[in-house]
Chains A and B, each alone.
Chain A
Amino acid sequence: MNAIELQGLRKTFGPLVAVDRVDLVVPAGTFCGLIGHNGAGKSTTLKMLMGLLQPTEGSVRLQGIDVFADPQGARRHLGAVPEEPAVYEYLSAREFLEFIAEIREGGDVARALEWTGLGKAADRLIREYSQGMRRKTALAAATLGDPSVLVLDEALNGLDPPSAARVKGLLREYVDSGKTVLLSTHVVETIQAVADRVVMLAHGRVVVDAQVAEIGSEGLEQLFLEKLQQTRDAEDS
């Protein structure tokens, strides 16, 4: 079964076309990287995928479930970290994860805390956390209940290098266990290190959809820059 299906996805805000007829099918067990320049439409696409923004046209399915027709059903399969994750300032990471585990009706809090690598800080209030620690907490919350699809918007931003490396490893393990990860970033190296597949957006459209192995480790950055230049040229002309 396909974990993620976007069909003819389009989002406009008045005259501004943020996402323009994006089609994307991600089979289960895939680590898919989404890259693009600032304003390419990555976050808007992911917000629609998370059910947080209604598309102007098109449909979004997670594990075959329409995200907008059955929001609760779709969210049972989804773990998500938005671009600016929201947390409760006056809870500790442990208390926050316990609450999320309750509303997801299950989840191994101890294991999720291992993901965060917060150690003793897990019992301090989140209001004392750095941006990176908050993001790790949100990431751990997204994994509670073992959702089959993880959608992460710039989830590795603000993480210190050892934490980022550990999280990348854990995400890879997650995918190897048959689950699906869609990670948006503009760090090409991250995609090269962990992703099976790369989707590149430019000006709201998919301009590259390929296997990372086919492109090669050095080709990805070059391809990114070429495509970016091509879309700029097309815009100028």
Chain B
Amino acid sequence: MANPYWKLSRRLAANRRVVHGWWRESLHSVWPLAIGAALYPWWRPVFLGFLEGSPKLWPAGTESLLQRAAVLIIGGLALEVYSALIRSPDRAVQELHPVHPAEVVLFELQRIAWRRVPWAIAISAGLWPLIAVNPSLGGGAVVAVWGYFAAGLTVSAAVHLFAVELADSPEWAPFLDRIRGVNPRAQAAFLYAPGAALGIAGLAAFGAASAVKDGSWILLAGPYLLAGAAALTLRQRANRAWFRASAILADIDARYAMLTLPEEGRKVYLEGIVKRLPISWRPFALNDLRRGWRARRSWISGAWIAGFSGAWLTWGPEVSDTVAAFGWLVAGIWGVGAVGFVLEKEEPYFLSQLIPWSTVRWASRSLVVFLWLIPMVVPASLAAQRHGLGWRFAAGLMAISFLASLFSAALSRIPTALWWYLPVAGGVSTLFVIFSRSPQ
């Protein structure tokens, strides 16, 4: 008998293609390739810059590159596995029926593998310049990358299913209480699970990266062995944890609902600025500030931390590294700028029908997004001044933030506009780095 979950997945995809058109549905697959192509000019100078130096430096450069790839692949897969195994929207349908949990988990992992295998393919293809000049080093790096993919998938699944067991375990309750902060106890287990998966699989991955550097090839098997060991535990863990997760999640959501009630009475970041705005702007700005901050606070404040970290990392003496890091910062600015789309998407339906879109709404939303971006830009501008990059650099960052805000607010009304916004973001970021490098 065919796997019912694959059958369901294919049927849903086919029906979506009928409703929305095959071209729009295919964008999901084409999109990563388009981004990859747009970022290609950056690839060699940013990631394989060490190939321009002495061949003695290549093993160390490859190790460093593999470490970054490990964090990206395993971290990304850990988050994806959490969404698929724990918080999948399919759970609400399937949890009422006597599904076979091991089959569901296996299907979800296969689906993620299928969807995300372009990551491993793209990174392997990107290693081609290294393979061309040093086949043994480059080949080892490719083997390591695929090991990261396998370990990222299965270790994340094992860790998340284990987190379900931890979440309501009385033995672990005191520990979870210490680390949960304001979250419900059970949520602490899920909050730290992606990090734990990254830590466990990352150890084997860093071992494999160092094996590539030192030529001690036996350690390259580490991620594969770990992936195999984790896979062996999955069936049993799935049977114990999958249904249990539903009950725990319902409890977490109910407790969050109680926790978030007092939030409504609190002022949000920048709320005070509203009274300085023109009267016609105020209700829209206040609405966006409150909804955006309450729903996406971690996104916005996380970006600021990234901005500060970027500035801190670029405080060193190398101007060329600084420019490359700022290139990433610009990409980050556009990423956070996309919160404008989120605001529109999460706008209550009745409100979007009741109050027509207007220039004032657009202007106030642009302003709100721009104000959220400022703390990300200021530290980078200070770091730029330190490197003598001049006011033009800081002004450029500010202008890019402003552009990102205007674009995301303007395009947020168009359902497919995110697909336009991202290439424009990539293009502007690339131009910015090229423009910034030219006077050096």
Closest to B93 in A: A86
Q: How far is the CB of A67 from chain B (nearest CB, A)?
A: 9
User: Is the CB–CB distance between B258 and A14 below 8 Å?
Assistant: yes
Given the known A-B contacts A14-B255, A52-B247, A53-B251, are A72 and B98 also in contact in the complex, defined by CB atoms under 8 Å?
yes
Chain A residues contacting B258 (CB-CB under 8 Å) are 13-14, 16
Chain B residues contacting A87 (CB-CB under 8 Å) are 93
A73 vs B244: C-alpha distance in the bound complex, in angstroms?
14
A125 vs B8: C-alpha distance in the bound complex, in angstroms?
14
A91 vs B7: C-alpha distance in the bound complex, in angstroms?
12
Chain B residues contacting A103 (CB-CB under 8 Å) are 4, 94, 97-99
User: Is the CB–CB distance between B94 and A71 below 8 Å?
Assistant: no
Closest to A79 in B: B96
Chain B residues contacting A14 (CB-CB under 8 Å) are 255, 258
User: Is the CB–CB distance between A91 and B11 below 8 Å?
Assistant: yes
User: Is the CB–CB distance between B250 and A82 below 8 Å?
Assistant: no
A180 vs B97: C-alpha distance in the bound complex, in angstroms?
17
Q: How far is the CB of A43 from chain B (nearest CB, A)?
A: 11
User: Is the CB–CB distance between A95 and B11 below 8 Å?
Assistant: yes
User: Is the CB–CB distance between B96 and A90 below 8 Å?
Assistant: no
Candidates A16, A71, A88; contact of B12 at CB < 8 Å: A88
A165 vs B375: C-alpha distance in the bound complex, in angstroms?
61
Given the known A-B contacts A103-B94, A103-B99, are A13 and B255 also in contact in the complex, defined by CB atoms under 8 Å?
yes
Q: Counting chain A CB atoms within 10 Å of each CB, which of B8, B94, B96, B254 scores highest? A: B96
User: Is the CB–CB distance between B100 and A53 below 8 Å?
Assistant: no
User: Is the CB–CB distance between B97 and A75 below 8 Å?
Assistant: yes
Q: How far is the CB of B295 from chain A (nearest CB, A)?
A: 21
A9 within 8 Å of B (CB atoms): no
Chain B residues contacting A125 (CB-CB under 8 Å) are 15, 19
Given the known A-B contacts A90-B12, A99-B4, A125-B19, are A72 and B101 also in contact in the complex, defined by CB atoms under 8 Å?
yes
Q: How far is the CB of A204 from chain B (nearest CB, A)?
A: 14
User: Is the CB–CB distance between B247 and A68 below 8 Å?
Assistant: yes
User: Is the CB–CB distance between B246 and A52 below 8 Å?
Assistant: yes
Chain B residues contacting A202 (CB-CB under 8 Å) are none
Chain B residues contacting A95 (CB-CB under 8 Å) are 11, 15
Q: How far is the CB of B176 from chain A (nearest CB, A)?
A: 15
Q: How far is the CB of A46 from chain B (nearest CB, A)?
A: 12
Q: Counting chain A CB atoms within 10 Å of each CB, which of B98, B100, B244, B254 scores highest? A: B98
Interface size class of A (residues with CB under 8 A): 20 to 34
A82 vs B8: C-alpha distance in the bound complex, in angstroms?
22
Q: How far is the CB of A70 from chain B (nearest CB, A)?
A: 9
User: Is the CB–CB distance between B243 and A54 below 8 Å?
Assistant: no
Closest to A54 in B: B247
User: Is the CB–CB distance between A80 and B96 below 8 Å?
Assistant: yes
A29 within 8 Å of B (CB atoms): no
B182 within 8 Å of A (CB atoms): no
User: Is the CB–CB distance between B4 and A54 below 8 Å?
Assistant: no
A172 within 8 Å of B (CB atoms): no
A50 within 8 Å of B (CB atoms): yes
User: Is the CB–CB distance between A99 and B8 below 8 Å?
Assistant: yes
Q: Among residues 74 to 121 in chain A, which have CB atoms less than 8 Å away from a CB atom of chain B?
A: 75-76, 78, 80, 82, 86-88, 90-91, 95, 99-100, 102-105
A36 within 8 Å of B (CB atoms): no
A204 vs B353: C-alpha distance in the bound complex, in angstroms?
39
Majority SS of interface residues in chain A? mixed
Contact mask A5-17 → B, CB, 8 Å, 1/0? 0000000011010
User: Is the CB–CB distance between A54 and B251 below 8 Å?
Assistant: yes
Closest to A50 in B: B96
A78 vs B95: C-alpha distance in the bound complex, in angstroms?
11
Closest to B168 in A: A54
User: Is the CB–CB distance between A71 and B251 below 8 Å?
Assistant: no
A51 within 8 Å of B (CB atoms): yes
Given the known A-B contacts A51-B247, A54-B251, A102-B7, are A91 and B12 also in contact in the complex, defined by CB atoms under 8 Å?
yes
Chain A residues contacting B1 (CB-CB under 8 Å) are 102
Q: How far is the CB of B180 from chain A (nearest CB, A)?
A: 14
A179 within 8 Å of B (CB atoms): no
A86 vs B250: C-alpha distance in the bound complex, in angstroms?
14
User: Is the CB–CB distance between B11 and A71 below 8 Å?
Assistant: no
A47 vs B247: C-alpha distance in the bound complex, in angstroms?
9
B437 within 8 Å of A (CB atoms): no
Closest to A81 in B: B96
Q: How far is the CB of B25 from chain A (nearest CB, A)?
A: 11
A167 vs B243: C-alpha distance in the bound complex, in angstroms?
30
Closest to B98 in A: A75
User: Is the CB–CB distance between A100 and B243 below 8 Å?
Assistant: no
User: Is the CB–CB distance between A54 and B248 below 8 Å?
Assistant: yes
Q: How far is the CB of A10 from chain B (nearest CB, A)?
A: 13
Candidates A13, A68, A72; contact of B254 at CB < 8 Å: A13
User: Is the CB–CB distance between B4 and A102 below 8 Å?
Assistant: yes
B68 within 8 Å of A (CB atoms): no
A127 vs B18: C-alpha distance in the bound complex, in angstroms?
13
Chain A residues contacting B7 (CB-CB under 8 Å) are 99, 102
Candidates B4, B244, B248; contact of A71 at CB < 8 Å: B244
Q: Counting chain B CB atoms within 10 Å of each CB, which of A72, A76, A100 scores highest? A: A72
Q: How far is the CB of A68 from chain B (nearest CB, A)?
A: 7
Closest to A71 in B: B243
User: Is the CB–CB distance between B11 and A104 below 8 Å?
Assistant: no
Q: Among residues 16 to 74 in chain A, which have CB atoms less than 8 Å away from a CB atom of chain B?
A: 16, 47, 50-54, 68, 71-73
Give 9 closest A-B pairs by Cβ, nearest first.
A86-B92, A71-B243, A102-B4, A75-B98, A54-B247, A90-B15, A53-B250, A76-B98, A86-B93
27 A-B Cβ contacts within 8 A?
A13-B251, A13-B254, A13-B258, A14-B258, A51-B243, A51-B247, A53-B251, A53-B254, A54-B247, A68-B244, A68-B247, A71-B244, A72-B101, A75-B96, A75-B97, A80-B96, A90-B15, A91-B8, A91-B15, A95-B11, A99-B7, A99-B8, A99-B11, A102-B1, A102-B4, A102-B7, A103-B97
Chain B: residues with CB nearer than 8 A to chain A? 1, 4, 7-8, 11-12, 15-16, 19, 89, 92-101, 168, 239, 243-244, 246-248, 250-251, 254-255, 258
12 additional A-B residue pairs with CB within 8 Å, beyond A54-B250, A78-B96: A13-B251, A52-B96, A71-B243, A80-B96, A87-B93, A88-B12, A90-B16, A91-B11, A91-B12, A102-B1, A102-B7, A103-B99
